[in-house]
Every structure is written in C-alpha cells, then in structure tokens.
Structure 1
Amino acid sequence: MREAIKVLFITQEITPFLPESEIATLCRYLPQAVQDRGNEIRAFMPKFVTINERRNQLHEVQRLSGMNIIIDDTDHPLIIKVASLQAARMQVYFIDNEDYFHRRNILADENGIEYKDNGERTIFFARGVLETIKKLRWTPDVIHCHGWMTALVPLYIKHAYSDDPCFRNAKMVYSIYNDEFNTPFQKNYGEILRIDGVKEEYLSAIKNNPIDFNAVTKLAIDFSDAVIQGSQTIQENLVNYITLKTNRPFLPYQAPDNYTDAYIELYKSIL
C-alpha cells in the first residue's frame, strides 16, 4: 500500500478567506491535517469579490491564467490567483472571473435572491479547477469535493477528463453538507454543462426534474467513488439514494476530533 497520497481538495469556501461555516472551517483544517500526515495536497476555491486580496495577499499566477472557458457559446477568461496560509504551510488556489465572481455578495443579491446564473458558475468553477490542474501537471490520487458548487467535478472526471494523464487514475470523494440552495438552476443547465465526453444519458439525475439541490447532489453521487456525510444531518432521501440505489462506499458523519483519520482511511480504501 502506498504511504503518501496526493489529495486535491475542491471547495466553495475556506476560512479565513470567507467567514467561518461548517464547510469553510473543515476545508481550512482538513487539508492541513492530511498534509501533516505526510501526504501532498492542493486546495481550490472560487475567488469571490468579497475576499480581500490585499489583506490575504492574493496574487495572480500568470503562467496558469489566460485561457478562456466557453459556456453557452460565450468566452469567459480564466484567472488563477494564489495565497498562502503560513500557519498551515499550504497554498490555496483561487478560480477568478469577472463575469461570475465579481459581485457584492457570494450566492445571492442584497435582497437574498439567489443569482440566476449560479448553475453556470458551477460549470466555470469545475472546469477552471480541472484545466488548472492540467497546467500544473499534477496527478492527484484522490479528488475530494465539498459543497454543491463542486457537484459537476465527479461527472467531468469520469467522462470528460477520463483519458487525461492527470486524472486517469484519480478517485472521486464527494462530501454532502446541509448547505442547500433554494432556486433551481436554469432549465438548460443540462445542455450547457455538456462538453466532449459527457453524454445526455449520464444526466438522468437532473433530467425531467427541477435542477435543485437534490438533483445536483444525486448527479455528484452517481459519479463518485465514495460519499461522505459532511453535516450531522442531511436530507434523508439523499442517504437513501446512496445506500439503496448505489453501491458507493458511504462514510457517515464524523466528529471534528475524528474526521481526519476516518477520511484518510476512506481515501486508502478506494485506491
């Protein structure tokens, strides 16, 4: 059995760049703990405009920036920034784009109305991370996704990027949290997320249904190698979907003083 594991963490939030939350706090300390146990990690999150670049000492990585990602026939420039968490001895990479992330709020406007293009933002974020990893020429053993904004990554890894040397042997882990969104994604989401390798038949979880939190989460489950219950309580129908309709290894909720060891054991079990 291999001694060191290369783990790619993809998350919608990490503290201190964003306020503390269940996801943000776990994704701050889990990568550090995995690294401290002798493993190699990379961590990615969106560069929301609420993140203070000067205070957090973000800077653009020119050699990784510059490509465009086409979504619904529109080019969107991909900008990569990075910051260091000195206490953790780790770097965090940020996916940036003016169209999707330069807003006064993160997921909803000042009136609490969720952005109509949140679905498109998940597409840009997922593809932006994977294209950046290709440029880094880094080959993760495990890709661990946190939060619904990362839900497309398992699908893309298993089909759009399955032949790429960086991802050919990567295993997917998806953590489900009690972080629902309320407004379903646009009706043509299943069309605009498709890229080479992603066939319509793979999208049964979101076909002919409102593309809500449940549907997007089931899509992530369908293409993951293992699933984790990240929150102490999640929707019962999602637990039933995992345990009754799939054969995915499922790790129930783990307390903060235990999750690192439990997660690493799960990583090892699927490799």
Structure 2
Amino acid sequence: MSLNQRKDFMTDKKVLFVSSEVMPYLPENETSLMSFESPRMVNDRGGQIRIFMPRFGNINERRHQLHEVIRLSGMNLVVNDMDMPLIIKVASIPKERIQVYFIDNEEYFKRKATFKDEDGNLFPDNDERAIFFAKGVVETVKKLNWAPDIIHVHGWMASLLPLYLKKYYGDEPLFAESKIVTSVYNKGFDGTLDEKMMDKVLFDGFVESEISVIKEPDYSNIMKLAAKNSDGVIIASETLPDDLQEFLSSLEVPVLPFVPVFEFEEAYMEFYKNEILNLTS
C-alpha cells in the first residue's frame, strides 16, 4: 500500500489518544513512547488527532509551555461523592504540530510525582485519580464537540475510560460511532490500588457484575476491565502477565499481537482500517 493510499484512508479520520504517560512530557518507557509514536503516525497520514494525559506535578510547565484553557476549565467532576474542580491545560509537541491536553486538579495532580511517593509506594488515591481522569477527558471532548472515529487508550491510569464511555456515557451521541482500542502493556504496578475502588466506581451507577473483576484492583484486573469494554485490543509489550494474556485470548474482539516499535506503523494502520473501522480495501 502506498503512502498516498494510506493517507486516503486516514485523511480527516479523528483519533483521540488518551494515555497515562506521553513523551516528551514524561520519561521514555514503552507506554510513553507508543503514546507519542502512534499519534504522530496518524498525524503524518492526514488524520486529525487529540492527545489527553494527566498533568502530573513532575511535568515542567515552563519548559513545555503549558497554559490553562479557561473556556474548557471550571466544571466540577464528582468522584466518590466529592466535587473536584477540573482544570484543562494545553501544550504543543515541538516540531510535530501536535496539541496535548492535560487533565489537572490541585488535589490529585499537584504532587511532584506520577504514581508513587518517594518511598516507592503507590499513591492511595490513584483509583480516584483514574476516575477523575476518565470523566475529565470525556467532559472536555464534549466541550470541544469533537466526535472521534477511534479512541485509543494507553496506560493503566487511562484504563477506566472504555468502561465509562460504554456504560456511564453510553447515551452520549458524540461518541455513538466511536470505536475504542486499548493498548495493553506489561509495565504496570505491583500490589493493588485502593481496596474500595470498586465501591467508588459503583457510586457512578454501574452494576456490580459489570465491574466485579476489579474487586481486587491489581494491574491485570484493571486492564481486563478496559479490554472487556473495548472494540479492539493491541498487545503492546512482548510479554504480559499470564492471566492477562489468557484473558485477552478469550476475548471476542480483534486482538493485534505484539509488533516491535520499528514495525508498528503498517500493523496499526491495517488494524485500525480492517478490524476497527471495517473499511474494505
């Protein structure tokens, strides 16, 4: 397939990328690298993209020239019966003509770290941060009135988005035609998030049977919940935890096996086209 043909298929397709980590704002790892490379690929092929990530306190706002978008900020999101103000910031990745939107809140994202404290312990409110992030992304995209063809999720802090889109925002017309893809990585976390995480998600009106997998909110179970609510899954690491690999093998949605970063473009494009958007060749 020539580049021109690829451009024809991606031209003006809208792809929303939602990630826990994105280069160059956070250090390079599998998640942050692919959360940069996959939007760049779509952008290069004529697609329209938006990227969302949390505005962690260790992101240098001055160096990366983040600024608040007043017209998008100001609403409150409810997390476990608490009103939490949503702040939206934006920056551009140099040389790429790619805008990144940052979901911010003083309570959840001011601390100068991503997921763990200085002793290496997971922050006890990581579950609430994930809920806030998922809702914040959807509410901001609604304000932008931008209907994505594909929503591509990377990283565990973004992993509640498929559930919320399919169930909590299931009647939202803006996303009626959107297809959700989740990339599953080996890089996660040890232990579990807050043991009351399921109760906090249930507060938003879910049925317990829909989310029972996160009764024990470890990395594999959280990613299973994301995959279960997706229209396609990309295995983005060479190895995954055994139980997670087994779960993905049992899914009735398309699953793209692992492809190394230097070969991923053609594979992702074909997956988007044939498996997710069901476009004929």
Secondary structure of the residue that 1:111 maps to in structure 2? coil
Structure 2 residue identity aligned to 1:220: A
Answering whether residue 262 of structure 2 is matched by residue 257 of structure 1, we say: yes
Partners of 1:214 and 1:178 in 2: CA distance: 9
1:2 Cα deviation from its structure 2 partner = 5.7
Contact 2:25-2:64 at 8 Å conserved across structures: yes
Partners of 2:113 and 2:94 in 1: CA distance: 27
- Name the residue aligned to 1:223: 229
Query: Does the C-alpha gap of structure 1 residues 204 and 172 become closer, same or farther in structure 2, counting only changes over 3 Å?
Result: same
Q: 1:247 aligns with which of 242, 246, 252?
A: 252
- Name the residue aligned to 1:190: 198
Partners of 1:14 and 1:200 in 2: CA distance: 32
TM-score using structure 1 length:
0.94
- Name the residue aligned to 2:119: 111
Contact 1:7-1:143 at 8 Å conserved across structures: yes
- Name the residue aligned to 2:98: 90
Contact 2:181-2:231 at 8 Å conserved across structures: yes
Percent identity of equivalent pairs: 48
Contact 2:10-2:42 at 8 Å conserved across structures: no
Answering whether residue 133 of structure 2 is matched by residue 125 of structure 1, we say: yes
Q: 1:20 aligns with which of 3, 20, 28?
A: 28
Answering whether residue 177 of structure 2 is matched by residue 136 of structure 1, we say: no
Structure 2 residue identity aligned to 1:259: F
Answering whether residue 83 of structure 2 is matched by residue 75 of structure 1, we say: yes
Q: Would you say how many aligned residue pairs link Structure 1 and Structure 2?
A: 268
Structure 1 residue identity aligned to 2:17: F
- Name the residue aligned to 2:240: 234
- Which ranges of structure 1 fall in alignment gaps of 5 or more residues? none
- C-alpha distance after superposition, 1:213-262 (max 9, x if no partner): 11111111111111111111111221211113x21211111111221221
Partners of 1:162 and 1:265 in 2: CA distance: 27
Contact 1:226-1:270 at 8 Å conserved across structures: yes
Partners of 1:223 and 1:255 in 2: CA distance: 25
Partners of 1:215 and 1:29 in 2: CA distance: 26
Partners of 2:142 and 2:230 in 1: CA distance: 20
- Name the residue aligned to 1:173: 181
1:201 Cα deviation from its structure 2 partner = 2.3
Q: 1:51 aligns with which of 53, 59, 80?
A: 59
- Name the residue aligned to 1:164: 172
1:21 Cα deviation from its structure 2 partner = 1.2
Partners of 2:193 and 2:97 in 1: CA distance: 37
- Which ranges of structure 2 fall in alignment gaps of 5 or more residues? 1-7
Contact 1:242-1:248 at 8 Å conserved across structures: no
Contact 2:130-2:157 at 8 Å conserved across structures: yes
Structure 2 residue identity aligned to 1:17: Y
Contact 2:10-2:45 at 8 Å conserved across structures: no
Q: 1:61 aligns with which of 66, 69, 72?
A: 69
Partners of 1:122 and 1:223 in 2: CA distance: 16
When the two chains are superposed, the root-mean-square deviation of aligned CA atoms in Å is 1.5
- C-alpha distance after superposition, 1:50-91 (max 9, x if no partner): 111111000000000000111111111100000011311110
Answering whether residue 208 of structure 2 is matched by residue 203 of structure 1, we say: no
